[in-house]
């Protein structure tokens, strides 16, 4: 996932920010439970960041070819093949989305 430099920077930033916040809570004499809760939230944020980066790297956008129509289908590589076909078909057939602006 983190093969792109921007992804690596984003991931490292999330991890460092989480560690710093957790450390600041700990040195502020917060209870162990409070510090552990903050650490858990920080770890969750890193996991969320990894997932968001992965989804973004596999994102596909298909636009309607009708001039002036801004209808699009946007999906990640996690979407099953038959669902991708349904989304693409709906996006490229202007009559199927009723001239959405």
State the residues that interact with Zn ion by CB under 5 A: 64, 66, 69, 71, 94
Would you call 3 helix, strand, or coil by DSSP? coil
Nearer to Zn ion, 17 or 88 (CB): 88
No. of helices (H) and no. of strands (E), the chain: 3, 2
Contact 96, 90 (CB under 8 A): yes
Nearer to Zn ion, 5 or 101 (CB): 101
- Closest contact distance (angstroms) between CB of 88 and Zn ion is 13
| DSSP state at residue 67 | T
- Closest contact distance (angstroms) between CB of 8 and Zn ion is 38
């Amino acid at each position: 996932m983190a093969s792109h430099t921007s992804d690596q920077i984003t991931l490292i930033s999330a991890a460092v920010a989480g560690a710093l916040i957790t450390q600041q809570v700990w040195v502020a004499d917060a209870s162990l439970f409070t510090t552990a809760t903050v650490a858990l939230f920080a770890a969750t944020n890193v996991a969320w960041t990894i997932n968001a980066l992965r989804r973004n790297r596999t994102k596909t956008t298909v636009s309607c070819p009708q001039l002036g129509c801004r209808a699009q289908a946007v999906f990640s590589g996690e979407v099953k093949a038959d669902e991708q076909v349904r989304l693409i078909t709906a996006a490229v057939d202007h009559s199927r989305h009723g001239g959405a602006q």
